Amino acid sequence: MKTTIATLKKMKAENNKITMLTCYDYSIAKLMDETGVEILLIGDSLGNTMLGYENTLPVTMEDMIAHTAAVSRGAKNALILADMPFMSYQTSTYDAVVNAGRLMKEGHAHAVKLEGGARVCPQIRAIVDADIPVCAHIGLTPQSINAFGGFKVQGKSEEAARTLIEDAKKVEEAGASLLVLEGIPAKLAAIITKTVSIPTIGIGAGADCDGQVLVYQDMLGMFTDYVPKFVKQFAAVGEIMRQAFADYMKEVKEGTFPTEAHTYKIDDEIIEKLY
Ligand code: KIV
């Protein structure tokens, strides 16, 4: 069954947890979709995970559209949620609507996500008025890394916690259908989840959100250099891949791959004529 915004609202109402994973390409989208994960997020984290940038700021609309389109082709049922990259919506409501529209028309997304609370409400309203569902994203928003002075847990003081609660209410009022809560204390995420009627999806925000999201390379153990506290590695895929690459190399070098089973045949008579 196709996941829609209505499905997700119903899941919140029925206390049925929502699953979201980042996804950036066709083959991984197919695998995730087959498991029934409700939302595939083409996060601008692809700047780090796929393109090797230090942060998400260099990611372009073209990057987001290409990866969103690839994921859309691989997923039959999941809701396709595309991130709006840095400076694709901060500049004006006009830019926000045009770029959200491109993610829908060219990337075939079903909804878009942007970072920020009260200050991006005009953009949220304008995008929603164009009939494009919006997911807001507050807390440790990676596009604000320079303003935050690094990746720091947000909402720890009373004032900061109150601001985040107000931000959550305002993005809901502006028309957001979903809300990502990133890098905030679990008890604050629980209050926000009770305060708003839209589903909250947490990453580093504890178990009381309506759903969870992880970057797939993190949860598969494909990056071991730095593992954030909130990540659980569900499999050591990185190690399996490394071993497979090494085995391949060894077999090619010793001549044990390819074997007869991996090769195409031709009649010997034809071959003789070629000498
Ligand atoms: O870009 C991303 O992957 C995200 C998630 C971490 C929520 O925004």
- Give the span between the Cα atoms of 198 and 218, in whole angstroms: 27
pLDDT tens sequence across 202-219: 999 999 999 999 999 999
Whether residue 258 is preceded by a cis peptide bond, meaning omega within 30 degrees of 0, is yes
Dist. CA 213 → ligand 1 center (Å): 8
Vertex 40: Cα angle to 35 and 41 (nearest 5): 155
Q: Which alpha helices (H) appear in the chain, and where do they start and end?
A: 5-13, 26-35, 46-49, 61-74, 93-105, 121-129, 145-148, 158-174, 186-195, 216-219, 237-254, 268-274
What is the model's pLDDT at position 227? Answer: 86
Read off the pLDDT of each residue in 228-245 and give the average, rounded to a whole number: 96
Specify whether the CB–CB gap between 140 and 182 falls below 8 A.
Answer: yes
Residue 224 in this model has a pLDDT that exceeds 80 = no
Tell me the whole-structure pTM to 2 decimals: 0.97
Exactly one of 34, 106, 182, 251 is catalytic; name it: 182
Both tokens assigned to 211: 């759903």
Q: What does the pLDDT average to over 138-142?
A: 97
pLDDT at residue number 149? 92
Does residue 197 carry a pLDDT above 90? yes
In the structure, what pLDDT confidence band is assigned to residue 223 with cuts at 50, 70 and 90? confident
Q: With contact defined as beta carbons under 8 Å apart, do 178 and 136 qualify?
A: yes
Residue for token pair 């969103």: 68
Measured from CB, residues less than 6 Å from any atom of ligand 1 are 22, 41, 43-45, 83, 137, 180, 182, 203, 213, 215
Q: Span 162-182, mean pLDDT? A: 98
pLDDT value of position 249: 98
Residues contacting 74, CB < 8 A, separation 6+: 25, 26, 27, 28, 29, 30, 33
**Is the distance from CB of 23 to CB of 216 less than 8 angstroms?**
yes
pLDDT at res. 30: 98
* Per-residue pLDDT at 225 exceeds 80: no
The rounded mean pLDDT for the chain is 97
182 carries an active-site annotation: yes
Alpha-carbon gap, residue 121 to 124, rounded angstroms: 5
What average pLDDT does this structure show over 254-262?
97
Distance CA 117, CA 182 (A): 12
- Top mutation candidate among 18, 23, 32, 45 for ligand 1, by most atoms within 8 Å of CB: 45
- Which residue has its alpha carbon closest to ligand 1 atom 3? 43
Question: Which tokens hold the place of 82?
Answer: 């595309």
Tell me which of 151-160, 178-187, 219-228 is least confident. 219-228
H or E stretch at 264: none
pLDDT digits (tens, 9 = 90+) for 3-15: 999 999 999 999 9
pLDDT digits (tens, 9 = 90+) for 64-112: 999 999 999 999 999 999 999 999 999 999 999 999 999 999 999 999 9
8 Å CB contact between 167 and 126: no
Task: Determine the Cα–Cα distance for residues 20 and 39; give it in Å rounded to an integer.
Answer: 5
Q: What is the residue type of 166?
A: E
Element holding 151 (H helix, E strand) = none
Give the confidence band of 226 by pLDDT, cuts at 50, 70, 90: confident
CA atoms within 13 Å, Cβ hemisphere of 49: 21
Integer Cα distance of 24 and 269 in angstroms? 49
